[in-house]
Amino acid sequence: MLLEKLTFPEVERLPKDVPVLIPFGSVEEHGPHLPLATDVYTIYRVAELAARRTPLLVAPPVYYGLCRSTSDHPGTISIRGETLRALVIDLLRAFRRQGFEIFLLVSGHAGGTHMAFILDAAEAFLAEDPRVRLAVASILDLLRDYALDLIETPGDSHAGEWETALIQYFYPELVKEVGEAEYPAFPKYLLVSNKRRFWPRGVWGNPQKADTEKGQRLAHRLAEGLESIIKSLKEFRG
């Protein structure tokens, strides 16, 4: 079920043990060939697929996230980690006031700092209300655990094989001409102010290995992964 399409009487009738999935993404460059909202589009559509497989309430997605490495590219609109953390806690509190108690926070944007703020917020909320059940995952976590065998490109991460394949499947009309493989060249340990200098096209992997059929297989594997996490959440007593 998509929350945004329900009426309030329909929400009122929902069992309070139905898991709530809150999708997070980013407005961020994804190479010259993918839309800025790739992270939202992929995880929201995968969540839709999961909701067809298991009872699940999918919340409207949070479009904005924390983006560091792509911050110099046109179109990347980042928010502060503190803002993201506060938003996560506010959303969890609001759903809890509605009576819901099982939550899965899943992000299509898998940046390490971004995920750390979501995880920290979830831990804080769990400490505040130990009765809730919570899980946090990124789409990259799901990929590594449930679909890595489908990926040909070692270390493929951003606007490369798997993200391109998913957008080719979900939104083929949004994919522009696919270019060559690229990987960032940031100096190890050092912070740089001109990030685009070390990552000109904003691609991490090989988008030429992508195709629509692979995107379809990936999407359904990732949905199966969400279903597995939701099953664990419903069974967990910790």
Q: pLDDT (tens digit, 9 = 90+) per residue, 149-174? A: 999 999 999 999 999 999 999 999 99
* Residue 49 within a domain: yes
H or E segment and range at residue 195: helix 195-198
Residues 105, 109, 112, CA angle at the centre, nearest 5°? Answer: 90
Could you tell me the pTM of the whole model? 0.96
Using the Cα atoms of residue 168, residue 173, residue 177 and residue 182 in order, give the sign of their dihedral.
negative
φ and ψ of 27, to 5 deg: -105, 100
* Residue 134 within a domain: yes
Q: Does position 78 have pLDDT exceeding 80, yes or no?
A: yes
Give the domain range for residue 174.
3-231
* Residue 184 within a domain: yes
* Residue 237 within a domain: no
CATH no. for residue 57? Answer: 3.40.50.10310
83 class by beta-carbon count within 10 Å (0-12 exposed, 13-18 middle, 19+ buried)? middle
Structure tokens at 218: 């990936």
| pLDDT value for 237 | 80
- Across the chain, mean pLDDT equals 97
Q: Does position 238 have pLDDT exceeding 80, yes or no?
A: no
Average pLDDT over residues 56-60: 98
Number of domains present in the structure of the chain: 1
* Residue 238 within a domain: no
pLDDT in tens, 114-139: 999 999 999 999 999 999 999 999 99
* Residue 236 within a domain: no
In whole angstroms, give the CA distance from residue 83 to residue 95. Answer: 18
